[in-house]
Amino acid sequence: MRKFILDLVERTVATYAAAFLGLLLADKFDLTSIGSLKAAAVAALPAALTVIKGAVATRVGDSDSAALLARSSRE
């Protein structure tokens, strides 16, 4: 379970960072504008979807991973 939590946290943070930076770059990277706050809020949506996808992945794929891949045949 600990491995799953770490995997999901890593994926969620990476998704949030990528979405936030993408929105900032699209808004000409002005951290002083109200658009930056909106970008931070909007970037939380894909991150939240990543958490939901991770929860679904425990039912479909490897229960120790947030990936939708099939269970490892090495075990």
| 74 within domain boundaries | no
Give me the number of domains the chain comprises.
1
Predicted confidence at residue 1, as pLDDT, reads 79
| 69 within domain boundaries | no
Predicted confidence at residue 45, as pLDDT, reads 92
| 66 within domain boundaries | no
Inter-axis angle of helices 34-60 and 2-26, nearest 10: 150
Q: Which tens digits make up the pLDDT trace of 21-36?
A: 888 887 776 666 777 7
Question: What is the domain range of residue 41?
Answer: 2-60
| 53 within domain boundaries | yes
Q: Which tens digits make up the pLDDT trace of 40-63?
A: 888 899 999 999 988 888 888 777
- What is the gyration radius of the CA atoms in the chain, in angstroms? 15
